[in-house]
Amino acid sequence: MPMVIDPIAEIKCDAIVRAIDVAPNGKWVAWSSDDGVVRILDITDTPTALEPFNVDDAVTHIRIASGDVIVVGTHTSDLHGHERLGGHRWTHAIGGGCDHLRLSDDGTIIASIDGGRHLHILTENGVKRGRFTAGELISISVARDGTGVAVADDEGYVHVLDSNGNKRWSRAPEADIGETVSAMCFLHDGSLVLCREVLGITPSEVPQIALERWSSTGEMLHSEEIDSRSVCLIPDGIGALSGQFDGTVLKLNDDLTSTRIWKSMYTINDLQKHGNDLLVASWFYLHRIGEDGEEVWRCEHTGIVQSIIASQDGSRIILSGDNQNHYTRENRILLIDPEATPYALSNDAEIDDDLREFSDGAELNSPTAAPDDDLYADDGEDMAALLTEEEQKQLSAGPSTIDDSELFAMLDDEIEQLAQFQEDETDLMAGLSDENFISHVPPTADAGNDLVVNASNDGTATALLDGSETSPGSQGIEQWIWRDSHSKQIGKTAMINVRLPIGNHTFTLTVIDPSRESSTDTVTVQVHGEVREDTYDLLDD
């Protein structure tokens, strides 16, 4: 039977937890959701809600930087730094919201990829250190000491930068198309370990999935083929630990040879060291795995655990997750002491008391009567008292007899009715398999790729919003609606031209078919140049 621990506190949330982090000292937690309210919880004793504060957009990321600065990334607007008590410290303008956010272990280097796929590097005080652009950047890794930043794009290119955004070296993909980098991390010596996967057909000499180790100067030191892609990589001694898509946890040596130390039935979502043990997030559980590869305990959450949020000293762990059930939609935060005493989970621990006698292994006893009782004795008086006068006469008259021929006639009628029902059912299934029977496919909106344009001398630029790649579904598009970031309708056709001022602008395309099925998609337009008055005009419908 598995050993389990209970959380020291369960905090029910009135919204889906989109972003959360715990202070390095483990004394307070900040979390937020789509409503833009950043909530603060004091967890030094009993969790206590402190005064929240608001930002002007849905929150996608929260990290706590050095000096207890709460770094808040939003869905469509900028990056913000706030104090724990809610005071606003700084704002850094980025295009199209914050898609990815990472910090160094000491919280002094902040790296963010915006909606336009550009990298921004800041200090904990919001001071810009650098900016980097190369392709469609989709992931970040920051060295623990903040001396390096690695970014990967959607074609398999990896660029390693210093803390000011200057490129040190780049890695090109093995395949011409279809290669991705699923995970990467810096090791103790500044080298980079990454897992790359080719989604298409590869030459025989190129592994489909492989781990690679690159030196701090851009030389590939080792490459090792593996069976399943790495979902998360963390440094460990002179090597690393890897959580695999197939649920395996691997210990990687410095030459990338590996040893399996544990296996889950589900994908490994996150890993974190806890002393000599390992914390693993997989499915709805947080597992603690000992040095011998055996599970020490597990703790269950109502939602799928996506990441492990722990204080720097490891004294407190925060788990959040969305159970993705649209009916219950339970949202809660679990506060966990990893040193809690585990206990064995009984097989019938979750069985209600009134059903416990029916659980596996329980002894079932047949009812017994007292020695002087006859369970089946009945003189008929008790039954007669419940019958009408007419029913009592029928009972006294004894059982009636029915001619066998009548019974067979009734049986023949039932057989004919059953045959008729089966024939009708066959016709119905034939109709369903008819080629003319087509299910309804709703439309899928496509607002096009994000745009970057340069402003002219008057401080504005013209941009084409192109939704022509939208899939019409099975019934076609009846209505096109373009809206700006304030939900104001600005167009009713697949393509429209807009004149925009310098800055970042987000537009939403909604398409509706004759059955009133709808779909939406957004596009971000960045206009570069000297700042002018913030106005834009619709040029055509």
CATH number at residue 494: 2.60.40.10
Q: Which of the two residues, 424 and 141, has the higher pLDDT score?
A: 141
357's tokens? 């006698």
Q: What pLDDT band is residue 366 in, cutting at 50, 70 and 90?
A: very low
What integer pLDDT is reported at residue 381 of this predicted model?
60
Residue 124, domain member (yes or no) = no
The burial of 532, by beta-carbon neighbours within 10 Å (0-12 exposed, 13-18 middle, 19 or more buried), is given as: middle
Average pLDDT for residues 322-326, to the nearest whole number?
68
Listed range (255-264, 320-329, 365-374, 503-512) with the worst mean pLDDT? 365-374
Q: Give me the pLDDT at residue 437, please.
A: 46
Rounded CA-CA distance 256/253 in Å is 5
pLDDT digits 0-9 by tens, 123-142: 999 999 999 999 899 999 99
The mean per-residue pLDDT over the stretch 60-68 comes to: 95
Q: What is the pLDDT of residue 466?
A: 92
Measured CA to CA, the distance from residue 482 to residue 469 in angstroms comes to 15
The CA distances from residue 196 to 151, 221, 260, in Å, are 13, 15, 19
Residue 456 structure tokens: 């002219």
Mean pLDDT to the nearest integer, 250-255: 96
* Among the listed residues 296, 157, 144, 136, the one whose alpha carbon sits nearest the alpha carbon of residue 233: 144
pLDDT tier for residue 429 given thresholds of 50, 70 and 90: low
Give the tokens for residue 281. Answer: 């997030």
Task: Tell me if 274 is assigned to some domain.
Answer: no
Comparison of pLDDT for 69 and 403, the residue scoring more:
69
Q: Is residue 501 part of a domain?
A: yes
Residues of the chain with pLDDT > 70, as a percent, come to 82
Q: How confident is the model at residue 154 (pLDDT cuts 50, 70, 90)?
A: very high
Q: For the residues of 219-268, what is the DSSP string, one character each?
A: -EEEEEE-SS-EEEEEEETTEEEEEETTSEEEEE-TTS-EEEEEE-SS-E
Three-state secondary structure call for residue 432: helix
Residue 243 — very low, low, confident or very high, per pLDDT cuts 50/70/90? Answer: very high
Domain that holds residue 527: 451-538
Q: Is residue 461 part of a domain?
A: yes
Identify the pLDDT of residue 375.
Answer: 44
Which pLDDT value is given to residue 72? 97
Q: Is 178 exposed, middle or buried (0-12, 13-18, 19+ CB in 10 A)?
A: middle
CA 5 to CA 216: how far, in whole Å?
42
| pLDDT grade for 401, boundaries at 50, 70 and 90 | low
Give the pLDDT of residue 118: 94
Would you state the pLDDT for residue 536?
Answer: 54
User: Does a structural domain hold residue 90?
Assistant: no
3-state helix, strand, coil in the chain (%, to 5): 10, 45, 50
Residues 240 and 141: their CA atoms lie apart, in Å, by 14
Beta bridge pairs of residue 483? 489, 508
What pLDDT, on a 0 to 100 scale, did the predictor assign at position 358? 52
Query: Is 244 among the domain residues?
Result: no
Residue 355 has pLDDT above 80, yes or no: no
The reply to whether 468 falls in a domain is: yes
Window from 175-184, 369-378, 434-443, 498-507 with minimum mean pLDDT:
369-378
More confident residue, 447 or 398: 447
Q: pLDDT digits over 451-506, tens only?
A: 999 988 888 888 999 999 999 888 889 989 988 877 788 889 999 998 888 888 88
Report the first-to-last Cα separation within the chain, whole angstroms.
Answer: 66
Number of domains composing the chain: 1
Mean model confidence pLDDT for the chain: 85
Residue 480 lies in a domain: yes
Report the pLDDT value the prediction gives residue 458, as an integer from 0 to 100: 80
- Residue 321: what pLDDT? 77
Q: What is the pTM of this model?
A: 0.67
- As a whole number of angstroms, the distance between CA 398 and CA 160 comes to 97
In terms of pLDDT, which residue wins out, 4 or 540? 4
